[in-house]
Amino acid sequence: MPRALLVAFAAVLAMSFATPSTAGADALEKITREKTFNIGYIPVPPAIIKDPKTGELSGYFVDAIRLICEQMGVKPVFVEAAWGTFIAGLQSGQFDLSIATTFATVPRALAVDFTRPIQYNAYSAIVRKGDTRFKSLADIDKPGVTVAVVQGAAGHEYAKQNFKNATLVVLATADLTAPFVEVSAKRVDVGIEDSWSTRRYAAGHPEVVDLFADHPYNVLPIAWAVRKGEPELLNFINTAIEYLRVNGRLDQFAAKYGPNGFFQVRTQYQPIGTPH
């Protein structure tokens, strides 16, 4: 075999047998070298708040990543995503970290790597006040019942896996209150999303009720995410989260934005009711 081909073959072979730690060093090294950190986000108050007029970001997840970037000596560049596209944004390199308030589920973990849990949340449902058909999840999963969910959100995953008889209305939006608006407008029977969002919406809309306010179901960890094959970046972010947790900065950031209900920062799972 000619020497040039031998050299080329050796290079390909070396790449094929690169260890995960070697292959995954690129993102963190590039961030520190270029002094720029591309960060994906999806507006979900109070963790991530986007001013509709100025586009300025705030919220305790935003405060946390800004502090991390400051201590890294890099500039955060925020890239807006959606629930149906944030995984593709990570995989394509559009951003290196997603700080969206993402439920870490098994299907998603096949596509991205999640950080350690930052907090925990559960799910509930919005129904119209006076609609006595619904007292449990089993009451929702019946023929003739229409259920609105946000495309790509964890509530969508749950509904696809567990509702076999109800009709799903899938909304292509990043607005987690969109399913509740459909209920208020009488276009669907039930809107499903996280328990913090349902509680907040019900408090401001007397025409609906938070069906599982006292007993949210499907408790899940909320975490940030990186694309697969980036163990150094993942380990670094985990260390930064632990640093902010132990010194109380996460709690301080969260406290700035008022009571968060079940959306509070939690370092370990605490039971919040028996799922129906």
pLDDT > 70 in the chain, percent = 84
Backbone angles phi, psi at 8, to 5 degrees: -65, -45
- Residues 76 and 35: their CA atoms lie apart, in Å, by 9
- The pLDDT assigned to 220 comes to 86
More confident residue, 246 or 263: 246
- The pLDDT assigned to 81 comes to 95
| pLDDT tens for each residue of 131-190 | 999 999 999 999 999 999 999 887 898 999 999 999 999 999 989 999 999 999 999 999
Q: Which residues contact 247 (CB under 8 A, 6 or more apart)?
A: none
DSSP-assigned beta bridge partners for residue 112: 227
Taking a C-beta distance cutoff of 8 angstroms, is the pair 123, 155 a contact? yes
Residue 104's nearest CA partner among 234, 214, 275 is: 234
**The amino acid at 212:** F
Q: Which residues contact 240 (CB under 8 A, 6 or more apart)?
A: 68, 71
Tokens coding 34: 């270029």
Tokens coding 108: 């998603």
Mean pLDDT of all residues belonging to the chain: 86
Backbone angles phi, psi at 69, to 5 degrees: -65, -40
Backbone angles phi, psi at 174, to 5 degrees: -95, -5
Backbone angles phi, psi at 11, to 5 degrees: -65, -45
Taking residues 113-133, report their average pLDDT: 94
Which structural domains are found in the chain, ordered by start?
Answer: 18-120+221-263 (3.40.190.10), 122-218 (3.40.190.10)
Q: Is the dihedral of CA 192, 195, 200, 206 positive or negative?
A: positive
Residue 116's nearest CA partner among 24, 257, 242, 256 is: 242
- The pLDDT assigned to 13 comes to 33
- Residues 222 and 264: their CA atoms lie apart, in Å, by 11
Tokens 């305790």 map to which residue?
Answer: 60
| pLDDT tens for each residue of 174-206 | 899 999 999 999 999 999 998 888 988 999 999
- The pLDDT assigned to 255 comes to 87
| pLDDT tens for each residue of 78-99 | 999 998 899 999 999 999 999 9
Residue 274 has pLDDT above 60, yes or no: no
Backbone angles phi, psi at 136, to 5 degrees: -150, 170
Helix (H) or strand (E) run with residue 122 in it: strand 119-128
Residue 260 has pLDDT above 60, yes or no: no
pLDDT > 90 in the chain, percent = 68
- The pLDDT assigned to 223 comes to 96
Residue 12 has pLDDT above 60, yes or no: no
Taking a C-beta distance cutoff of 8 angstroms, is the pair 165, 142 a contact? yes
Confidence of residue 259 (pLDDT cuts 50, 70, 90): low
* CA neighbours closer than 13 Å in the CB half-sphere of residue 140: 24
